[in-house]
Amino acid sequence: MSRQRIALRVEYQGSRYCGWQRQGHCDSVQQQVEQALTQIANEPVEVHCAGRTDTGVHALGQIIHFETAVERPLRAWIQGVNTKLPADIRISWAAPMADDFHARFSAIARQYRYVIFNRPVHSAILADRVTWESQWLDVDKMQAAAQDLIGERDFSSFRAAACQASHARREVQWIEVSRRGDFVFIDIRANAFLHHMVRNISGTLMEIGRGERPVNWVAELMAIQDRTQAGVTAPASGLYFVNAFYPEEYAVPQVALNELLWQ
């Protein structure tokens, strides 16, 4: 029996989950999505994602794919699957894909947004959805420092000790630090990311924004390639997987930054 490959875009609020990846000891986003797809397909379904996210991390444009032998209208893979998912996970797009498409290996870049709520008192409504910083952040200094991350470089200073990647070279294509009222955004796009890379960058930039470190600290960290010398790992609650980018022939739509919460 022939099988078809389907791609989906998944949005989730990650606070209740131990990350994307299926694990035996705790509830994960992948587990919830596979269970819902299995009910609609009436056969076991295993999915592959563009980029695994850690415990407490959120996503707006996570891309996944799976294979199935059953025929279903596309609306079944969206509305039907959503009826089987908890309220903090949603499918927002579905499309059939060529057999050579792979959610992870076909992606040419990924984009994350780190959201900081910057005022003296935290918000009860936004708890677990943003990172709170009570001390005023100098966004201009953070933006200036961030530009030293651009290019294909060795990011050992921003790599988690448990990172399993074979090397630390990544290409940061674009990074911008901006403010909208009480919200500070760190938007970053790269060909790929190391474990905790965005959170480690964000923690370092926040120290610069608080005036605890000079603007040239990022350049120094890139030169010494030593994770122990960089800033602390910023909390998971502020991190959002925004987009995975693919060659044009796959026609995977993007989430625009002006569509995001708090923009």
Q: Determine the Cα angle at 53 with ends 255 and 132, to 5°.
A: 80
Strands, E assignment, the chain = 4-12, 48-49, 58-68, 89-97, 109-118, 131-133, 151-154, 169-180, 183-190, 239-245
Q: Which residue has the tokens 């893979």?
A: 77
Interatomic CA distance for residues 67 and 204, integer angstroms: 41
Shortest CA distance to 111 belongs to which of 260, 248, 262?
260
The CB-side HSE value for 203 (13 A sphere, CA atoms) comes to: 21
Interatomic CA distance for residues 145 and 71, integer angstroms: 51
Interatomic CA distance for residues 112 and 51, integer angstroms: 11
Please list the residues that pair with 63 across neighbouring strands.
Answer: 9
Backbone angles phi, psi at 34, to 5 degrees: -65, -40
> What proportions of the chain, in percent to the nearest 5, are helix, strand and coil?
25, 30, 45
The answer to whether 54 is a known catalytic residue is yes
| CA–CA distances in Å: residue 239 to residues 144, 189, 225 | 21, 13, 24
Radius of gyration of the chain (CA): 19
* Candidate list 27, 54, 88, 128, residue with the active-site label: 54
Residues with catalytic annotation? Answer: 54
